[in-house]
Amino acid sequence: MHAADPFLFQLFFIFVWAKLFGEIFERLRLPAVLGEILAGVVVGPYGAALVVPSDAIYAVAEIGAIFLLFTVGLETQPKELLVVGRTSLYVAMAGIAVPFILGFSYMVLRQHTPHEATFVAAAMVATSVGITARVLGDLHVLKTLPARIILGAAVFDDILGMILLGGVVGLASNTGTQWAQLLVTALEAVGFAVVMLFYAPRVVRRMEPGLERMSTHDAPLIIALAICIGLSYAAAKIGMAAIIGAFFAGLAFAEYSPRWNLRPRVSAINEFLAPFFFFSMGSRLNIAVFQDRKLIVSAIVVSILAIISKMVGCGLPVLRSGWSNALKVGTGMVPRGEVGLIVALVGLQMNLISEQAYALVIFMTAITTLVAPPMLKIVFKEESTTVDTIPEEQHTAV
């Protein structure tokens, strides 16, 4: 294993640097994920070049992205949607349409290629509700109506975002701009989602007795892992992003996750692998591109568009129940996260977007994530004081 020294070296230092930056960010009450990405920017090849990830590390990072989305899927309970119902669906749909249209239009106006515009717009779509949920939990307002709408909308948002990403990647890899092809790709993505949403959980349910008869130690976990990798491969094979398969695999197992104790164990795999993904992501960000002032302007405009478009898109469907609620829901849906970043990374790897556009998306993700918590604290101020007496239990609601 002597030849492997550089691999172990990278494995160790990437993990440590990512977690170190994550810890610093946590202490500053900023999202740890941004810290892990920043570690890649600062220590990686475009920064101090202390650690330059090899192909083996990128392979590990790719498995990391798969487990990241598998975990997101496992935590998404389609059943919970029935509670919050239609409002959440409308919030999610408008919250996807408005940012996508605004983002696409702006990018095309700035003379980017249609492919690049599509990828950046798609990256502006997916809300990452983790940060919102944590802030709302801290404020003890998770049981209020807007909070419940947000959490429900986030589930639809994830699923719709995945379908959109499937369509975008499929379209991009066909390089066709014919309408017929666009239709086929969209249908493929929707079909995949429908099968996975409605058929797959039933398959899992039927597998259950067989699984519990299997001789392999811990068969449910093994089967879940196999299906996760298998669907990732299948998704990539039919021209969508691998992570879409991983996400829907998670969704299929979400119902049985508590019973088979899947979540804590998949999370452990995720906690080991995810830092490599985020670090790699940062290590591909060429900070030199920001020397171009035009790009800085673009980055700021895209970030503002990302914030406003979510607030408007997600706020509008709630307007009937008052301005205050609309503002709360809109603000809660602002932060973008992993999915947007992965969209950008897929685009970069397919050579469909430039280093500049990639930098744009990371900048936008960071801004929306940093800006949301203080905004949430302001708009939820009144509830936070009125319901402050509700017992501690609420903390565990998410």
Closest CA to 379 of 312, 324, 298, 303: 324
Among 39, 266, 314, 329, binds a copy of itself (CB under 8 A): 266
> Does 4 engage in binding with a copy of itself (CB under 8 A)?
yes
What is the DSSP secondary structure assignment for residue 240, as one 8-state letter?
S
Site residues (CB under 8 A) for a copy of itself, limited to 332-351? 346, 349-350
- Report in angstroms how near the CB of residue 309 gets to a copy of itself at its nearest: 27
CB under 8 A: which stretch of 39-47, 55-63, 118-126, 284-292 binds a copy of itself?
55-63
Query: Which residue intervals of the chain are DSSP H helices?
Result: 5-27, 32-43, 55-74, 81-84, 86-109, 114-123, 130-138, 145-174, 179-194, 200-213, 219-237, 242-254, 262-283, 293-315, 323-332, 338-349, 355-379, 381-386
> Does 269 engage in binding with a copy of itself (CB under 8 A)?
yes
Among 93, 229, 300, 301, binds a copy of itself (CB under 8 A): 229
Q: Do you know the residue count of the chain?
A: 398
Largest distance between two CA atoms of the chain: 66
> Does 3 engage in binding with a copy of itself (CB under 8 A)?
yes
> Does 5 engage in binding with a copy of itself (CB under 8 A)?
yes
Q: What are phi and psi of 127, to 5 degrees?
A: -75, 140
- Report in angstroms how near the CB of residue 359 gets to a copy of itself at its nearest: 20
> Does 60 engage in binding with a copy of itself (CB under 8 A)?
yes
Q: Classify 149 as helix, strand or coil.
A: helix
Closer Cβ to a copy of itself, 27 or 86, answer by number: 27
Q: Could you tell me if 200 and 227 are in contact, meaning their C-beta atoms sit under 8 angstroms apart?
A: no
> Does 226 engage in binding with a copy of itself (CB under 8 A)?
yes
Closer Cβ to a copy of itself, 265 or 377, answer by number: 265
Closer Cβ to a copy of itself, 321 or 349, answer by number: 349
- Report in angstroms how near the CB of residue 343 gets to a copy of itself at its nearest: 11
Q: How far apart are CA 51 and CA 45, in angstroms?
A: 7
Closer Cβ to a copy of itself, 222 or 390, answer by number: 222
Site residues (CB under 8 A) for a copy of itself, limited to 142-181? 173
Cβ burial, residue 179 (10 Å; 0-12/13-18/19+)? exposed
Q: How big is the site for a copy of itself, counted in residues (CB under 8 A)?
A: 54
> Does 207 engage in binding with a copy of itself (CB under 8 A)?
no
Q: How far apart are CA 328 and CA 315, in angstroms?
A: 8
Question: Which residues, listed in sequence order, are joined to residue 127 by a DSSP beta bridge?
Answer: 336
Residues that bind a copy of itself (CB under 8 A): 1-5, 7-9, 11-12, 15-16, 19, 22-23, 26-27, 32, 55-56, 59-60, 62-63, 173, 214-218, 221-222, 225-226, 229-230, 232-233, 236-237, 241-243, 264-269, 271-272, 346, 349-350
